[in-house]
């Protein structure tokens, strides 16, 4: 991957398909990629449904410290969160709810060959609580695999 614009352009159709398959209001990819100046604190790519607020210019949240991301770091599994208020131990950053209106979400880890969690793919929903269909979980898992297969992903240092 040569630059951020090329990476975002490559990821857009993957996220658009995820949005179409899940009905999410926002889908993002966040990665740590120092060579490109990217940090998980701002998405490197995002697609939005009409009326959804963009996260692309908001870097105020330290996402690595979020309970949800720490859970993913520990479990190495996709977080299926049908109600972001259901478990206080998994509460997302307040901004995700207050500013961006997320009530339920799917978050799939991007883990490199060196076992480092270098990012994640997410699908956010404004309605909740909800029970996610198996097809939605399969969709985010497929999106995760597709993102990992993008040339230039930081699979190892």
Of 13-17, 24-28, 135-139, 152-156, where does mean pLDDT reach its minimum? 152-156
Q: What span, in angstroms and rounded, lies between the C-alpha atoms of 146 and 22?
A: 16
Mind listing the pLDDT tens digit for each residue in 73-87?
A: 999 999 999 998 889
Q: Please report the domains of the chain, with CATH numbers, ordered by start residue.
A: 4-148 (3.30.450.40)
Total-model pTM = 0.91
Mind listing the pLDDT tens digit for each residue in 28-81?
A: 999 999 888 999 999 999 999 999 888 788 777 778 888 999 999 999 999 999
Phi-psi region of 131 (alpha: psi -120 to 50; beta: other; left: phi over 0): beta
pLDDT at 1 over 60: no
Mind listing the pLDDT tens digit for each residue in 86-102?
A: 898 988 877 777 777 78
Confidence of residue 157 (pLDDT cuts 50, 70, 90): low
Beta bridge partners of 46: 28
Mind listing the pLDDT tens digit for each residue in 88-140?
A: 898 887 777 777 778 899 999 999 999 999 999 999 999 879 999 999 999 99
């Amino acid at each position: 991957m040569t630059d951020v614009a090329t990476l975002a352009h490559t990821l857009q159709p993957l996220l658009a398909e995820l949005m179409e398959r899940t009905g999410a209001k926002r889908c993002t990819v966040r990665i740590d990629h120092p060579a490109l100046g990217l940090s998980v604190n701002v998405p490197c790519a995002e697609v939005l449904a009409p009326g959804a607020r963009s996260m692309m210019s908001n870097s105020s949240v330290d996402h690595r410290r979020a309970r949800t991301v720490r859970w993913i770091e520990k479990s190495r599994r996709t977080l299926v969160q049908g109600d972001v208020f259901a478990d206080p131990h998994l509460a997302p950053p307040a901004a995700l709810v207050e500013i961006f209106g997320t009530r339920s979400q799917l978050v799939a880890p991007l883990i490199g060959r060196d076992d480092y969690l270098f990012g994640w793919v997410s699908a956010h929903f404004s309605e909740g609580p909800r029970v996610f269909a198996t097809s939605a979980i399969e969709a985010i898992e497929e999106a995760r695999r597709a993102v990992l297969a993008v040339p230039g992903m930081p699979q190892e240092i």
